[in-house]
Structures are given as C-alpha cells and as structure tokens.
C-alpha cells in the first residue's frame, strides 16, 4: 500500500529532478531519521571544539576510569580524560577520514571511469586492467602496506584509504557513461556541433551524478569501519588525538572497571555506520526510483 502510494504520488510543482528526489526521500521515514542523525554527527564533528566540555587531551589522573557522573556525563578513561569530549572529538577525526577518503577516491576514480566509458577502445582496455589489478589486492591489505611503508596518522590514513577506494568510483562512472553515451540526446548534441568535452560535462554528467552521490554516501560507513579498524590496531590515529577506533582499543583493557570507556565509541561507530547506510539507501531509492 505504501509502495503504491509512493508510486502514484508525484510532486505537484516540481520543475526539476532534485525536487522530485527530495520529495521521495522525505517519504522514507528511516532514511529521513538516518539522514538527520548523519547530518547531526557531521555538525557535532565540525563544531567539536565549541561543543565539547573538555579538551580531548585534558587529563585528570585523580578521576581516571570514573563512571558517568554530572561532571563527566559519560565518565572518564584510564588517564582521566572526559569520554564525552573524546567521543565528540573522535567524531571529527572519524568523519574527516570517512568523508575525505571517498572524496580522494572519487577524484581519482571518476575521471578515469568517465574517459574509459566514453572513449572505449585502448583507454577502456587499460582502465579495465587497472580495475582488475586493484580489485585483486584487498583494500585493507593495500592500505596496510602503505601505512607500513609511510607511517600512519590522520592525513596519511585518509589518503591511503582514498587511494585504495578509487576502483569502485571508476567502475561506476564507466558504467554510467557507457550507457549514456549512446542516448539520443547525446547524438543530438553532437549534431548541434557541441564539443566532446562539453557533452561529457554539461550534457551527461548531471544524469550520471545521482548514482555517484549514492555510492559516495554508501562508502562513508565502510570507511568509518576501516578507519576504526586501523586505529584499533594502532596503525591509524595516534595519541593523544581522539578517534573512535582507538578509543575502543584503549577501553578494551578496562572493560571490567568501566564499561563506558569501550561502550561509548562502539555506540558512536554503530550509530554513524547505520545512519550513513540507511541514508545512502534512501538516497538511492530517491534518486533512482526504478532501482527498487
């Protein structure tokens, strides 16, 4: 019944595709709530230094591993650092990596995919072989190697996870352009004497960008996870910077004394991952109603 209603209901005064997409997105409760949470996490991350009650490195060894109290809402870790503050600052590093890495991947992958899908031939052959080689080596293993060679840290982790994630964007862009290049409106634009680069960017990109945005958002939770994994292993974010993955690592040793030390970052990761996943799914359904 709801599906039927969504099909029939069309926006009344939409003059554009994005209006219609927003209309469809709004109707999806789960996606809407997830989207709000995702945006909230981003806002908290951006305003971390304003919101957080303490600094992420402010220690008070007299109050280490205390449970939740009025002074420390979520308690403190083994060095007496406020967990709430660390979770908030952790959001900043986690989000920077989770969004920065796919961005790097998109910047590398999308142009390669576009060229390969549009021109085909030799370019496509080379790009496809590159896709295959990079798919063969697991992303985590590859990033691990790069970290082993060049060291960890927020910026490097972001860069390495980004470099290793371009294949997905490349494949997607290639598929998009492969199907779009034979459309009648592309032929018509060509017959009007529009230069090729203009057709690629002005005429085709707006039709291809929807799935790319969706893929980007879906990459975010995967990257949160990967980054947390690296930090948990001690390969990513280094002390005293806060990161959810590293906080789990810290808290794991003190589980029996203060559960919130590990629980706080775990809940944060779960919440962020789920929020971005559902928001991404909602976005997919909204931007491409035929994909259901």
Partner 1 sequence: MPEALLEIRDLHVSFALERSTVYAVQGLSLQVDAGERVGVVGESGSGKSVSALSVMQMVPSPGKITAGDIVFGGENIRTLSTSELRHIRGGQIGMIPQNPLTSLNPVLTVEAHLQEVLRLHLGLTRREGRERTIELLRSVGIPDPATRMHEYPHRLSGGQRQRVMIALAMACAPKLLIADEPTTALDVTIQAQILDLFDELVESSNLGAILITHNLGIVAGHCDRVVVMYAGRVMETASVPDLFARPAHPYTLGLLRCVPRLTARRSRVFHAIPGAPPQVTQLAEGCPFAPRCERATDQCRTQTPPLEEFRTNHAIACWHPVTEPAEVAS
Binding site for partner 1 (CB under 8 A): 15-17, 183-185, 187-195, 198, 202-203, 206-207
CA dihedral 243, 244, 249, 252 (to 10 degrees): 140
Please, what is the minimum distance in Å from the beta carbon of residue 124 to partner 1? 13
Nearer to partner 1, 36 or 187 (CB): 187
Contact 272, 128 (CB under 8 A): no
**Distance, CA of 117 to CA of 173 (rounded, Å):** 7
Q: How far is CA 130 from the centre of its chain?
A: 23
SS3 125: helix
Please, what is the minimum distance in Å from the beta carbon of residue 143 to partner 1? 36
Please, what is the minimum distance in Å from the beta carbon of residue 175 to partner 1? 18
Nearer to partner 1, 2 or 290 (CB): 290
Nearer to partner 1, 16 or 62 (CB): 16
Nearer to partner 1, 202 or 255 (CB): 202
Please, what is the minimum distance in Å from the beta carbon of residue 129 to partner 1? 22
Q: At what angle do helices 83-119 and 154-163 cross, to 10 degrees?
A: 30
Going by C-beta distance under 8 Å and a sequence separation of 6 or more, which residues neighbour residue 182? Answer: none
CB under 8 Å, gap of 24 or more: what pairs does 177-181 form? Answer: 177/113, 177/114, 177/117, 177/118, 177/204, 177/208, 178/117, 178/120, 180/204, 180/207, 180/208, 181/117, 181/118
The sign of the torsion formed by the CA atoms of 271, 69, 53, 231 equals negative
Nearer to partner 1, 2 or 13 (CB): 13
Going by C-beta distance under 8 Å and a sequence separation of 6 or more, which residues neighbour residue 225? Answer: 269, 273
Nearer to partner 1, 71 or 183 (CB): 183
Tokens 């799914």 sit on residue: 281
Going by C-beta distance under 8 Å and a sequence separation of 6 or more, which residues neighbour residue 242? Answer: 56, 85, 86, 87, 89, 90, 92, 93
Does residue 240 have a cis bond before it (omega within 30 degrees)? yes
Nearer to partner 1, 145 or 187 (CB): 187
Please, what is the minimum distance in Å from the beta carbon of residue 198 to partner 1? 8
Please, what is the minimum distance in Å from the beta carbon of residue 194 to partner 1? 7
Please, what is the minimum distance in Å from the beta carbon of residue 179 to partner 1? 13
């Amino acid at each position: 019944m709801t599906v039927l209603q969504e099909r029939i209901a069309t926006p009344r005064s939409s003059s554009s595709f994005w209006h219609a997409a927003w209309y469809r997105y709004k109707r999806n409760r789960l996606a809407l709530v997830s989207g709000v949470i995702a945006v909230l996490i981003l806002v908290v991350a951006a305003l971390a230094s304003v919101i957080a009650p303490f600094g992420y490195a402010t220690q008070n060894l007299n109050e280490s591993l205390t449970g939740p109290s009025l002074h420390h809402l979520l308690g403190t870790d083994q060095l007496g650092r406020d967990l709430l503050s660390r979770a908030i600052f952790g959001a900043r590093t986690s989000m920077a990596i989770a969004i920065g890495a796919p961005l790097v991947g998109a910047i590398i992958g999308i142009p390669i995919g576009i060229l390969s899908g549009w021109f085909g031939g030799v370019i496509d052959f080379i790009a496809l072989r590159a896709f295959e080689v990079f798919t063969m080596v697991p992303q985590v293993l590859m990033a691990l190697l790069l970290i082993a060679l060049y060291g960890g840290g927020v910026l490097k982790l972001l860069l390495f996870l980004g470099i290793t994630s371009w294949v997905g964007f490349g494949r997607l862009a290639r598929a998009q352009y492969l199907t779009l290049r034979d459309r009648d409106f592309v032929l018509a634009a060509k017959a009007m004497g529009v230069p090729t680069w203009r057709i690629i960017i002005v005429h085709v990109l707006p039709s291809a960008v929807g799935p790319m945005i969706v893929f980007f958002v879906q990459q975010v939770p995967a990257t949160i996870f990967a980054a947390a994994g690296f930090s948990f292993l001690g390969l990513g974010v280094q002390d005293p910077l806060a990161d959810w993955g590293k906080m789990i690592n810290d808290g794991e040793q003190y589980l029996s004394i203060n559960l919130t030390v590990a629980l706080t970052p775990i809940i944060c990761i779960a919440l962020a991952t789920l929020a971005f996943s559902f928001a991404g799914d909602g976005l997919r359904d909204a931007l491409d109603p035929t994909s259901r």
